[in-house]
Amino acid sequence: MTIPAAKVCGAEKGENTMTRDELEKRNVGENLDAIMCLDPRGYGVCRILYAGSRAYTGEPTAMHAAEALCKAIHPGDPVYILVGFVLLPHKVPEMDGSVSAILLARSLVLAFGAKPIIVCPEDSVQAVKNCAAIVGLHIYEDIADVLELPMSMGVQRFTKDVSRAGDEADALLAQGMPAAVISIEAPGANDVGVYHNAVGLDVSALEAKSVVLWEKLRALGVPSVAIGDLGNEIGMGKIADHIRSFVPFTAHGECSCGCKGGILAASTADSIITATCSDWGCYGLMAALAYLLRNIDILHTEEMEAEVMRTAARSGMIDMTGSLLPGIDGFDTKLNVSILSLMRQCTDYALRYSHNSDRWFGPVLAKHFFE
């Protein structure tokens, strides 16, 4: 993965415009983005997507999104988390997105004292409820209870019927405006209104129409973060030209269903994170929050990661492969825990030991490579 915006030999040198802390934050962010975009499969879509999302943000993407959330969220604020991709042929939800959404709910409570509310299809509700206890949170379907009670999160089922989606979105908004909305691997319709799976089949009938809620919140100016790993997820239309140019099945006419719209989601976002799988992108976001707020406990442990994956699988969620064994996009528990562990160790080191290297920051800045 290329790190952009570095000076080449012979560039003009002047006074430092980057501070020591800015340099550290930049490189912690680079670490997290690099880890979440590791490519065990080897076909490179994660790196294609990252080139587009990085060009849009102009800086490490997980850190960019985390800073936006730090500005937007305050104690007691509701935050909506949209999630839940239902897969063929079994017609059940996948673990990618849902696992990290539950863990993100915990992070938002610890980081901000927020009130996270997961919005998902009916198919996902029981698994979300089963996983809530693993992350130490009480879970309620009544938003009033979530707002009133400590250490709590909410879950809201959202319709698959597009004709009802507007009314359901309005009913949610009538209960209070969220401080932010975050989408993780949530299905997004293309520009002709069709939802697709990864290979271009029409899955519109299977998917919650939560993008309608997303668009209403965007129109109201609610800060938004979208996390995806292919282009058919909510928010990925922000880098539409890049994705259509380089990612298979996304351009007009490339899908398999006959709609001729391609699989690219039309919706956009304020901040976007792309990764090898969406859960890894969300772990990068949580690690960035832990760094910015100087509290490693905001990022969950390896043991909690494994237990949430096991519980989601036992609750009927599937891996991308269709397996009921714990897995995210074909990656087993061991690999997912390893990705999380590397993020956690890199972030914790920066929080605990970075000043051991203070003598290096000034001389490095004086060379102007990172400006």
Confidence at residue 7, expressed as pLDDT on a 0 to 100 scale: 42
* CATH at 251: 3.90.1640.20
- Asked if residue 12 belongs to a domain, the reply is no
In a domain, 7, yes or no: no
| Tokens encoding 100 | 């990290």
Q: What is the pLDDT of residue 371?
A: 83
Tell whether 140 is covered by a domain: yes
Structure-block tokens of residue 28: 């912690």
User: DSSP state, 7?
Assistant: P
In a domain, 14, yes or no: no
How far from the centroid of its chain's Cα atoms is residue 123's Cα?
Answer: 20
Q: How many domains does the chain have?
A: 1
DSSP 318: B
Q: Would you say residue 10 lies in a domain?
A: no
Asked if 200 and 177 count as a contact pair (C-beta separation under 8 A), the reply is no
331: CB partners within 8 A, 6+ apart: 40, 277
Phi, psi values for residue 271, rounded to 5°: -125, 140
Task: Write down the pTM of the prediction.
Answer: 0.95
Which tokens in the block code for residue 27? 């490189």
User: Does any domain span residue 194?
Assistant: yes
pLDDT of residue 9: 39
What was the pLDDT predicted at 292? 98
Tens-digit pLDDT string for the chain (371 aa): 544 444 433 334 556 689 999 999 999 999 999 999 999 999 999 999 999 999 999 999 999 999 999 999 999 999 999 999 999 999 999 999 999 999 999 999 999 999 999 999 999 999 999 999 999 999 999 999 999 999 999 999 999 999 999 999 999 999 999 999 999 999 999 999 999 999 999 999 999 999 999 999 999 999 999 999 999 999 999 999 999 999 999 999 999 999 999 999 999 999 999 999 999 999 999 999 999 999 999 999 999 999 999 999 999 999 999 999 999 999 999 999 999 999 999 999 999 998 899 999 999 999 999 98
Tokens at residue 263, please? 């699989």
- Domain assignment present for residue 15? The answer is no
Per-residue model confidence (pLDDT) at position 15: 64
Query: Whole domain around residue 52: which residue ranges?
Result: 20-366
Whether 14 contacts 47, CB under 8 Å = no
Q: Give the SS3 label for residue 366.
A: helix
Asked if residue 2 is part of any domain, the answer here is no
